[in-house]
Amino acid sequence: MTALLLKGHERMNPVERERADQAVRFYAQQIAEQQGTPFVQQESIALGLHKLVDECVRGLFKRDRKRARRVACKRGCAHCCHVQVDITEAEARLIVRALRDNGESISPAGIEHMRAQRDGDFDSMSVEQRRCVFLNSANECSVYEHRPMACRKYFALDNAAQCETAGANKGAMVLNFVDLNAECATAAAYLVQRNGPLPEMILDVL
C-alpha cells in the first residue's frame, strides 16, 4: 500500500474501500502476470506502469477541470524532490539503463550523497541533504522522462509553497490532487515488486 492509500482507506466508506481494494488486486495480478512472462524485462513493466499512471492523471485533469486549473506545480519548483521517494526495483533499473544508454552516469559525489541518504535518518537531514540526486542545478528532474510513479501523480493546489519542507512544514505531506486509480496501480506495484527508498534502490542496481 502507498501511504496515501492507507490514509484514504480510513476515510472511505465500505463500498469505496472494496472498490479500491479490487483495483489494487486487479493491477497486482496484471503486473504479476507480466513478471511471470518469459523475456519481459522489468524495465518494460516500469514503462507500462508509467504510461498507465500518466493516463490516469490525464483522466483526472479532464474530469475535474476546475481543480486542474488550480494546480500550482511548475517547472523549477522542486519542493517534493526533497522528500523520501519510494520506487520499485524495476523503476531503478529503467533509470540506470536510460542513463547508460545516453552515455551518462551518476557522479562519485552523487553516489556518496545517496549513500548518506540511505544510511542516515532521512527525516532529520537538512533540506540540502534530502535533495534528490537527480535534481539538477536548475531544480529540474534530470531523469524526467523516466521519473518514478511516485513523482508523476501528486499535484499541489493553489500554493506550491505549502510543499516547502525546509522550515516549519518539514514532514508535511501535501497531496491535494491525486487520481485514485494511479494510486491503486502504484500500491499494486509495491505489492508485487521489490521496492524501497530511491537512493537504496538505485545503489542496489548500479
- Asked if 132 is part of the footprint of ligand SF4 (rule: CB under 6 A), the reply reads yes
- Asked if 154 is part of the footprint of ligand SF4 (rule: CB under 6 A), the reply reads no
Q: Name the minimum Å distance from CB 130 to ligand SF4.
A: 10
Distances (CA, A) of 50 to 4, 132, 159: 18, 19, 26
Q: Which stretch binds ligand SF4 (CB under 6 A): 13-21, 25-33, 140-148, 158-166?
A: 140-148
What contacts 48, CB < 8 A, 6 or more positions away? 34
Q: Name the minimum Å distance from CB 61 to ligand SF4.
A: 18
What contacts 8, CB < 8 A, 6 or more positions away? 20, 180, 183
* Residue among 31, 85, 94, 189 that touches ligand SF4 (CB under 6 A): 85
- Asked if 106 is part of the footprint of ligand SF4 (rule: CB under 6 A), the reply reads no
Grid cell listed for 191? 505489492
Query: Footprint of ligand SF4 on this chain (CB under 6 A)?
Result: 81, 85, 132, 134-135, 141, 143, 147-148, 151
